[in-house]
Amino acid sequence: MKPKTSLQKILLYIEDFFNKIFTPRFNPFYYLGAISSILFAVIVVSGIYLFIFYRTNHPYQIVQNITEKQWYAGGVMRSIHRYASDSLIIALILHTTREYLNRRYSHSRWLAWVTGLLLLIITIIIGITGYWLVWDERAQLVALRTSEMLNDIRILIEPISISFLNNEGVSILLFFILHLVHLALPVAMIILIGLHVFRHSRPVITTPRMMTYAILIMLFAAAIIMPAKSAPPADLGKLTMDAPFDWFYFFIFPLRTIIPKQPFWIITAGITLLLFILPWTKRQRLLPAEVILENCTGCEQCNKDCPFEAIRIRSRTDGLAYKMEATVISERCVSCGICVGACDFEAINLPEMGDVQIKEKINKLMAYVKQTDKSPKILLFICAQSAALKNIIDIKENSVKGMANVKVIALPCIGMLQPSMVETGFETGADGVFLCGCLHGDCHYREGNIWLHARMEGKRLPFLNRTIDHNRILEYQLSPINTNNLFDEIRLFEEYLSSYNKSEYKKVRVAKLNEKKILKRMIAFSAVPALLILFLSARPMYSFYSKDDSLIKFAFKYTSRYKVDCKEVTEKETEAKLKHMRKTNSLFPVMRMNCTGERLPVNVVISLDDKNVLTKTYHPSDLKRDGTTYVYEEIITIAGKHNLMARITDSKTDNPLNYILDKEIEIKSGEVAVIDLTNKF
């Protein structure tokens, strides 16, 4: 597979760098999903501890008590909870980006892709509500900016920002609801994680021991060196000038400020929708595997080896002596061919590339190898995902470029290789067989290279014939970014076959790093994301106001009059109607009011120091526009004395609404003045 984009090349270069440091077995990029699950487990455990002590009546003081009075436990748990949450965002974003760049989201993988996106979105929501529960200046920033965004999409009829006009308006019920959401969403995440790995056989949800140690040590060290602390308590009478800003969770707030409202939501909704429908965009796909029932013995090996649970074993349907048979779930099949490699009876095939077809091709290829030189004849089986095949294969000759003695058979996955194919290669004259697959832990189809190695070692069915000389078989793992290295490896294999002395060659293959050294390197490198988290989550790196700014909050609720006058009807006319059709605003049976229809909009004009700062029309809520009119606006100004004039009118011709507020206000730098006209007119 040749990298198709510059971003994919960059990713492969980064992974190659980490492979040299940690070896593919411990490369963290190959365990991003498992790292996410470990971090989620840490968040749940630390969250349960914090939940035991948290109360919603005085949230700020409660969190301070947890942090300071039991710093040795509650403080550490809070810090680990915070830093694990930030780490989870990093892991999820990297995991999603990597799966996208490697195109591992289409066909049967759509469920994992969609649930993965939902997990990322829910994680952000959980993080935001978690910050909100502390109710410090950072929570105040979250509350106001989240309210602004909810006002845009009008999820609620009443703008939620009205609830944050002043400190007195903040209800304990709000924190109870937020606490409930913060606890309920992780339960939803557990369900989504189950769906995320639902179609994966043997999902990798835990990291290698060394990696787990490094993650836990990093989190604990960060909690001790720089414990998480609250900002000053929230005060809605002041602007949040220098509140610590967590870019991992708050990144969307500056974007909403920089980009105008409508373009922001169009772009956000468009990108989100595009990501969710990505699996169903047109992509080339091989036909799914097919079972040849007359050859199937119901041995279940194909079912055991399938990485996506696309093969089921059921009771026999054709009357043969065997009790069970295999059947393919076509919508789950990714056409990797691993099931072909698992079957020793030629009972399952890919329609476009079957076991028999491959063996026939081996016969033809080896028959065409020229004997003009003394170079050993080599049969190369290569995974199409492990290398840029166009850079390797001479299509006309079906051989490696510049090496006519090396014939090539490309497979969708190296796990498709059936041991009998290797035997066929030797039977037709091959001096050696070279097996090239993806790197350990990075198989495009998850387990192909693992099963191949187990079959070659005689640890998994089907076994390689014991009469085959294993010394003439070489397994090699390759990254597409290092495709050219394959030429050097093949030449070394040629030399080895010519001299039949593998001692020096094999030493390079089996060299491994000491696990203690790997652990030390992992701990050292884990300091990089730790420093990134501390830098991007604990400093006031973004402010929505300048130092000299002040703010005026202007708000009111008003139930305007109907556009058409209410019709008076007598008791007799009212009683003549069916009960469910009667509409009345009067408690008196003598005269009832049948008031329906659309209410009048309200016009608001605000000037500050004789300068117009707002002219806007507000319509009643509800789809029929017959509900209450809600007004909420923020006006940024400078400190000092100001003359504020507000005029509120409607379009009624007789006895029109015409309310005028003319008021002098004095506001200090960084403070908030509230003008609430509810029930004033």
pLDDT of residue 579: 53
Q: Which amino acid is at 77?
A: M
Rounded to a whole number of angstroms, the CA Rg of the chain reads 34
Dist CA 358 CA 355 (whole Å):
5
Q: Determine whether domain 6-280 maps to CATH 1.20.810.10.
A: yes
Contact at 8 Å (CB) between 234 and 140?
yes
- Given the DSSP bridges, would you call strands 348-349 and 290-291 parallel, antiparallel or unpaired? antiparallel
Contact at 8 Å (CB) between 348 and 292?
yes
Contact at 8 Å (CB) between 164 and 170?
yes
103's torsion region: left (phi>0), alpha (psi -120 to 50) or beta? left
- Entry pTM: 0.91
Burial 375-390 (b: 16+ CB within 10 A, else e): bbbbbbbbbebbbbbe
pLDDT of residue 501: 52
Q: Determine whether domain 287-352 maps to CATH 3.30.930.10.
A: no
Dist CA 612 CA 614 (whole Å):
6
CA 76 to chain centre: 27
User: Under CATH, what is the fold of the domain 549-563+598-676?
Assistant: Immunoglobulin-like (2.60.40)
Nearest to 537 by CA among 232, 82, 32: 82
**What is the side-by-side order of every strand in the sheet holding 658-667?**
611-618, 602-608, 640-649, 658-667
Domain ranges of the chain: 6-280, 287-352, 356-510, 549-563+598-676
Residues in the chain, total: 681
Dist CA 274 CA 254 (whole Å):
22
CA 332 to chain centre: 22
Q: Which residues contact 336 (CB under 8 A, 6 or more apart)?
A: 307, 412, 413, 415, 416, 444, 445, 448
pLDDT of residue 592: 43
Dist CA 25 CA 42 (whole Å):
23
pLDDT of residue 569: 46
* Residue 275 exposed, middle or buried by CB count within 10 Å (0-12, 13-18, 19+): middle
Partners of 136 in beta bridges: 233
Residue 455 CB neighbour total at 10 angstroms: 22
Instruction: Please give the average pLDDT of every successive group of 10 residues along the chain, which has 681 residues.
Output: 85 95 94 97 97 94 95 95 97 97 92 98 97 96 94 78 92 93 96 96 94 95 94 96 93 94 95 96 83 95 96 94 95 95 95 92 89 82 94 92 94 96 95 95 95 95 92 94 94 88 47 75 91 88 90 95 67 53 47 67 96 95 88 95 96 88 95 94 82
